[in-house]
Structure 1
């Protein structure tokens, strides 16, 4: 009887231990899911910040041109100073992340951006354009850190097959901010009488013109001071947030290599990102000038970039609904790259009058706007494929992909040069080889694991 009692008691104790272990595992799983959702929320806020700070450059360019009395070339240094930081600072940011970790890296990125926004204050009081450019470069540096960690985070924080779906959610936050940014800046800086003022400025005497321009440029002090404060506070909030830290053990360790250049699919993916972001900026930033070549005024055409961004948001919504439930993210990348190539060819080859949205424009401009739809899911498709199997080099790999954002500065300049020597319409041929390469990467390039044939 004593033996039977001991056996029964031992079985009961063993069951209690198993039940306790299962409850602990369930609690840990629930906590991990909660932390992941908190992480997704924080990442969404970060991508909103990326979009807001980046897309406001489109209105800063003409604003600085007037207030600082710049040539066209000098005014476009706004975009160059901002985006060249991605090329120069992305790789150093990856080493910073390796030392301080993901979460602290995000905090540092926001604080660097706050410093960049504060530089607008002395730049405005001195109406000193080089200091503005330094502020923009500093803002871009902080964004380079945030982009490096955020895109890697959103890729690794959950199921890899759902990475494109998560990136689509982030894209909606980014492009939604892109629609709001020019409106908010215009509300904060411009006045109803400014249109008449801008016409009078060239006619004023030097002293009076200087006083008017000083008053005009000082309008950025308040909004950028508020922006600096918000960026600093966001960094503080993230410091105390339960954002999960992704350890090196959670990263894929299948391929043990020592250099990024030993991963052809990563290097080819960085080239694909470079070309992709260039097509994205061309589709958004050139559409007003292209409509102007068709006889549409600036006030009539000012909403066209929002149409492209709206098409991009629609693409993100398709991605959230379809990936991976109905369509695998690799297949979606292939479909979108082919669709983008088709639209770019139609931009260059079609010439049919179309009346749409109250405007009578050439069909090519509507195909240009439609490029926003496939472009939404190309970025989301490239990232998981390019980072696959990097292991401990994932941070540096992410930084290499972020360096591809320098295509935002270089590809549009190539378009501008082609437009000057030929025409706005013929310049869109630059889109065709870009999308052709993305098609190559989607079907074949991402498979390369060695440079040898």
Structure 2
């Protein structure tokens, strides 16, 4: 799927004929959708410890929040791709917003009943709508301009996505986690069973208003996108590399291996963002509900670096290699660093007035910086050369988001068996796989042979 940029700045060779103005307008619309996806996604980081209290869960049970959310990407990815062939990108985006709105509404009866299984159903419905959105907007943003600048465009979209991740925990904490100390494990255990259940039900009720507002906002934006002038790109034309029409997308090693690398990446990204609150709570860090903001702020910084550096100063492959090495080193820091000393955070963010956190928590947050450029680098590397198989390849990559369902639950299992900090060792093989894909795997064009 090689493309070049002509002197007018058009994406020559992408079959869209997009002008520079159309690219900017398209990026603004898609940026709004990425912000919405980020808002809903990174709410989980604060929702996990919240529901752990409301539903009286251990770490393994609490992290079924991430399982119910991210497994929808595996279950719904292929149906979403099939639907997009009928509706096109734009209608797929509006349908996705509508399904998300329904999922947000389901939080109201879930909060009123305080039943964990109802929360999981609501999360699965929300994520099903997001799967349709992701299947549409990721290839859309890749095809909106030249292939060489695809990572830069996705990095810009990441600023919207992760920027929402910075804001959400702060908002959630102010609305949901006020006076949370009165709902601590010790405080609840001191109550009689009836009073304990009443306290948890009262805490659960706090979710009704924000999720009702979220549903309303999603339906309003759905109508806005439907009537907007956002251009619907035509299907990807065939290229010379698509001559094997009857072969499965599994014939493309760069795609299959990229899917595995993306599976590992999403898992470590979710672990870094959604378990940091649980880990901070275990270490008695004050305002543990906002710790996801630390990880997201590091990701925002990483996306800014990616938007500026790629491809001008850093190739997509180079960005992926650098990210993997940083992930390996920071994982060692999380697993072996001090859970009491706060020197690292004092040096890095103390000057800005940000509350200090233990070194291990800060290393976990810094994984956001290491992770930031992985998603935007893997997508164009994995989809390169797929031609008419791009839509199916995109669906396969979307299915890899299930790493965010499976790996955090594995982490929760190890954390309950041993220690929360020791369980972070499982991130090492994930970053090693990403490193191998950046160094070798993405170059393969047939099994056993690299690209020439």
Q: Same fold (TM over 0.5)?
A: yes
After TM superposition, give the deviation of residue 202 of structure 1 in Å.
4.3
After TM superposition, give the deviation of residue 385 of structure 1 in Å.
0.7
Cα deviation, 1:261-286, whole Å, max 9, x if unaligned, reads 11111110010001111222233334
After TM superposition, give the deviation of residue 139 of structure 1 in Å.
0.2
Distance 1:108 1:305 in 2: 29
Cα deviation, 1:276-320, whole Å, max 9, x if unaligned, reads 112222333344555677xx4220655544333222211111111
Question: Residue 278 of structure 1 corresponds to which residue in structure 2?
Answer: 267
After TM superposition, give the deviation of residue 180 of structure 1 in Å.
1.3
Q: Could you tell me the TM-score, scaled by structure 2's length?
A: 0.84
Report the 3-state secondary structure (helix = DSSP H, G, I; strand = E; otherwise coil) of the residue aligned with 1:449: strand
Cα deviation, 1:178-218, whole Å, max 9, x if unaligned, reads 121122223333444x5335565545455555544444323
Question: Residue 76 of structure 1 corresponds to which residue in structure 2?
Answer: 63
Question: Residue 14 of structure 1 corresponds to which residue in structure 2?
Answer: none
Confirm or deny: 8 A CA contact 1:256 1:391 kept in the other structure. Answer: no
Question: Residue 182 of structure 2 corresponds to which residue in structure 1?
Answer: 196
Distance 1:351 1:125 in 2: 41
Q: Could you tell me the TM-score, scaled by structure 1's length?
A: 0.84
Call closer, same or farther: CA 1:212–1:288 in 2, change over 3 Å. closer
Residue 324 in structure 1 maps to residue 311 in structure 2: yes
Call closer, same or farther: CA 1:287–1:233 in 2, change over 3 Å. closer
1:29-44 matched pairs, under 5 angstroms = 32-44=19-31
Counterpart selection for 1:256 from 228, 243, 266: 243
Confirm or deny: 8 A CA contact 1:251 1:394 kept in the other structure. Answer: no
Confirm or deny: 8 A CA contact 1:252 1:388 kept in the other structure. Answer: no
After TM superposition, give the deviation of residue 416 of structure 1 in Å.
3.1
Distance 1:445 1:298 in 2: 41
Call closer, same or farther: CA 1:45–1:186 in 2, change over 3 Å. same
Counterpart selection for 1:451 from 429, 447, 450: 447
Cα deviation, 1:349-370, whole Å, max 9, x if unaligned, reads 6679662426887755544433
Q: Based on CA coordinates, which of the two structures has the bigger radius of gyration? A: 1
Question: Residue 66 of structure 1 corresponds to which residue in structure 2?
Answer: 53
1:359-398 matched pairs, under 5 angstroms = 365-398=361-394
1:169-208 matched pairs, under 5 angstroms = 169-192=156-179, 194-196=180-182, 201-205=188-192, 207-208=194-195
Distance 1:111 1:350 in 2: 45
Question: Residue 222 of structure 2 corresponds to which residue in structure 1?
Answer: 235
Question: Residue 309 of structure 1 corresponds to which residue in structure 2?
Answer: 296
Call closer, same or farther: CA 1:241–1:171 in 2, change over 3 Å. same
In structure 1, stretches of 5+ residues that fail to align are 1-22
Counterpart selection for 1:52 from 39, 44, 61: 39
Question: Residue 355 of structure 1 corresponds to which residue in structure 2?
Answer: 343
After TM superposition, give the deviation of residue 405 of structure 1 in Å.
1.1
After TM superposition, give the deviation of residue 119 of structure 1 in Å.
1.1
Distance 1:189 1:361 in 2: 22
Structure with the higher helix share, 1 or 2:
1
Call closer, same or farther: CA 1:240–1:127 in 2, change over 3 Å. same
Residue 406 in structure 1 maps to residue 393 in structure 2: no
After TM superposition, give the deviation of residue 124 of structure 1 in Å.
2.9
After TM superposition, give the deviation of residue 395 of structure 1 in Å.
1.6
- With a CA cutoff of 8 Å and minimum separation of 6, indicate the structure with the bigger relative contact order: 2
In structure 2, stretches of 5+ residues that fail to align are 1-7, 11-15
Report the 3-state secondary structure (helix = DSSP H, G, I; strand = E; otherwise coil) of the residue aligned with 2:74: helix
Distance 2:413 2:193 in 1: 34
CA RMSD of aligned residues (A): 2.9
Confirm or deny: 8 A CA contact 1:107 1:238 kept in the other structure. Answer: yes
What count of residue pairs does the alignment treat as equivalent? 424
